[in-house]
Amino acid sequence: MKKLVFVGAGSMAEAMISGIGASGLLPGKQMWATNKQDVERLKTLQQRYGISTTYDFEELFSEADAVVLAMKPKDAAAAIEEIKSFLAEGMLVISVLAGVSIGAIEAAAGKSLAIVRAMPNTSAAIGKSATALAVNGLVNDRQKQLVKDLFNTVGMATFVEENQLDAVTGLSGSGPAYIYYLVEAMEKSAVEIGLEKHTAKQLIIQTLLGAAEMLTKTDKEPSQLRFEVTSPGGTTEAGISILEQHGVQSAFVSCIKEAAAQSKRLCHLLGNELASANRPL
């Protein structure tokens, strides 16, 4: 790849630029970015990562191999309308727009494009994202490998069918927030039972890291790992019994299902907005 263009320069674009540059996959000078009007933001990214920035679309898209749509989803219709004449047929378009389907992007662009829809999460900022990728029929094997390589620089990436992306959004897209919510509860309880907050946070973080590592390095099911920690009549059993009394596991299942359902609703809504914005008068 000789040139990668970012349309939108927010936190996800920066995470990708940082990861791609740090990995050596693509030098900063071969990455370009633009945004709606925040000149200072572009200057910051240029100084921080050595990328090129411009508001001149002729310069921006000239000889671009791939374009990352990284604007806010609510701005997608206006942005695609503005840039669609610069998107060459067969050009690789990578969308990180939550809730915007491949079909909606195809309709908005009004031409045949190789489109990849990506669902990373905020952990991309530290190179630990879990990213799901879905493609349309125009994405070839070389492009699929390229996109996987790009997102592997900010964590791990795997391909799924597009109809599974709402489930991915509910699970791993929103997933970090569920973990932070759990940590909030653990911190609160730690203070209430007499631990200093800073000490409690260190213990909680290491506990989470250790549990994640155990899940990574063993073939055992989570239920078995839990059972091995839970001695009859012991402290863990006492704690787990309270979680079961309050239906915590069922609540998490409902939480993820509702997040996935909301993703589907938003996808439908944003798709309609893109279609109406590009419907001939």
Binding residues for NADP(+): 70-73
* Among 68, 43, 66, residue whose Cα is nearest residue 54: 43
Q: Which two tokens stand for residue 112?
A: 């045949």
81 neighbors 107 (Cβ within 8 angstroms): no
Work out the number of other CB atoms within 10 angstroms of the CB of residue 149. 15
Q: Which two tokens stand for residue 165?
A: 């992306």
> What residues pair up with 66 in beta bridges, in sequence order?
4, 92
Alpha-carbon distance of 265 to 70, in angstroms, equals 20
Alpha-carbon distance of 100 to 63, in angstroms, equals 26
Q: What are phi and psi of 45, to 5 degrees?
A: -65, -40
Mark the binding-site residues, compressed into ranges: 70-73
Q: Which two tokens stand for residue 136?
A: 């349309």
* Among 271, 266, 278, 269, residue whose Cα is nearest residue 101: 271
